[in-house]
Structure 1
Amino acid sequence: MDNISINKANYLYWLGRYAERAYTTIAYLRRFYDEMVDKNQDAYLEFCSRLGVINNYRDKKDFVKRFISDEESEMSIAYYIGKTYDNGIVLRDTLTSKTLSYIQLACNDLKKCYNSQEYVVVNLQRVTDDLIAFWGAVDDYILENDARDLIKAGKYIERVELYNRFDESKNLKKAAIERLWRYAINLKINENTSRQVDFINSEDMLEYNSIKNYIDELSKWGVGQ
């Protein structure tokens, strides 16, 4: 981590978190949308509760429209994608133009969705595809190992947080924590420090909070980007 400033580390961390927040939230939105169509039109109320979103929506249609497109709300797909782009622009020299282009595509495809009044959630698949391509580009085109590992650490911290909110299975959460652990170990090895950081608890289980706190400290997450 010696070659990465605290400010840059913060942008890398939040790039990973916002990109994953957009990707995984879209997946949950599609799941709840199917339930709204097939079974319970008020299923979005549970979705809002799990994410901590204040329910000021008139009905299902209003929820879908605004949760996708309201750029002013910090609880919307548009906001998550916008913050991903903002962080990406700052990091464009690290990301490379190829990697950044997939974030731009996600922005464009999202705007096509709601500018044309296509608020059917299935149309978000194009944005999902762009984000998948972005993650592939992160692996292929970012040459700085620490930068790539910090982005991926942010990604898996966000995934675990969302898995907890939506009560995913222990196996899914365990798999996400194990991936996070691998990136944390890489960052720990490269950090020039003599301090001891233990990611294992007394039962030889990976300790998520210890890993998250370590990554948060590296990125000074409280600054927020």
Structure 2
Amino acid sequence: MILISPQTAESLYWMGRYIQRSESMTRLIIALFDKIIDENFNEAKELYEKLGIALHYTSSQAFLRKSVFELDFISLLYVINTARENAILTRSHLPNRMFSRINALYLKYQAAKEEPTVSIYWLESTLQELDAIWGNLELSLVESKEAPLIELGKVVERMDLSIRLFDSIEAAVWDTEKLNVIADKIRPGHKKILLSSSKKAKALATINSVFGALITSHES
């Protein structure tokens, strides 16, 4: 891979993670909204506990507003804003259309925050915006030095949330091959990542150490 600064590499990686986090959490919030209404009112409280978040709500609408706009460090607005901040730091490395879509999604959230209620249909529409952001990555950064770093963040985040939220190491194992393919683009000949442990903490540590190991090895 053509050398870029460690700071830029890290920002690209975390941008990928936060975009994927926004997609995963959006899908999760939509599913939880339905379950709160139809099945188990406390479903969201129980799941957010796995993230170390004490979530309190009195209605399905209150759950939407808190999860989308109000929770510190984990609301969708916070996640989108953090993705945007990393995009700003790496703007010269991104296609203009991709950066514009990330910024537009942030502004869409800011506008929706001022509305008296959160529309589940509006939230569902944001998934189309996220799909478009990933589409710009695939179309505009083919064979570029930046794309593997963003893709690495995307896959690591997906694996991380699978384990944290659903205790599904098996699902994360399925992504290991893809993780190794991406890692090889960043540093050819890297040591393959293996994920077979049934221990949640060890699996999370392995997944979240991949970026640092690749960048450190590349620098040395």
* 2:210 is equivalent to residue 214 of structure 1: yes
Structure 2: tracts of 5 or more residues without a match? 198-202
Percent of aligned pairs sharing the same letter: 23
Query: What is the TM-score with the length of structure 1 in the denominator?
Result: 0.81
* SS of corresponding position for 1:145: coil
Q: Structure 1's 38 and 86: CA in aligned 2 closer, same or farther, altered over 3 A? A: same
Deviates most, 158-167 or 177-186: 177-186
**1:100-143 deviation line (CA, Å, top 9, x unaligned):** 11112211222333322331334212221111110111111126
> Which residue does the alignment assign to 1:22?
22
Deviates most, 153-162 or 109-118: 109-118
Residue from 191, 213, 219 that aligns with 1:197: 191
Structure 1: tracts of 5 or more residues without a match? 191-195, 221-225
Matches within 5 A, 1:51-130: 51-55=51-55, 57-60=56-59, 61-70=61-70, 73-130=72-129
Q: Structure 1's 168 and 138: CA in aligned 2 closer, same or farther, altered over 3 A? A: farther
Deviates most, 148-157 or 138-147: 138-147
Preserved CA contact (<8 Å) 1:17 1:154:
yes
Preserved CA contact (<8 Å) 2:176 2:194:
no
Preserved CA contact (<8 Å) 1:106 1:130:
yes
Q: Structure 1's 64 and 126: CA in aligned 2 closer, same or farther, altered over 3 A? A: same
Q: 2-side partners of 1:81 and 1:202: how far apart?
A: 32
Q: Which of structures 1 and 2 has the larger relative contact order (alpha carbons within 8 angstroms, sep 6+)?
A: 1
Query: What is the TM-score with the length of structure 2 in the denominator?
Result: 0.83
> Which residue does the alignment assign to 1:39?
39
Q: 2-side partners of 1:202 and 1:165: how far apart?
A: 16
> Would you say how many aligned residue pairs link Structure 1 and Structure 2?
210
Give the superposed CA RMSD.
2.7
Preserved CA contact (<8 Å) 1:14 1:87:
yes
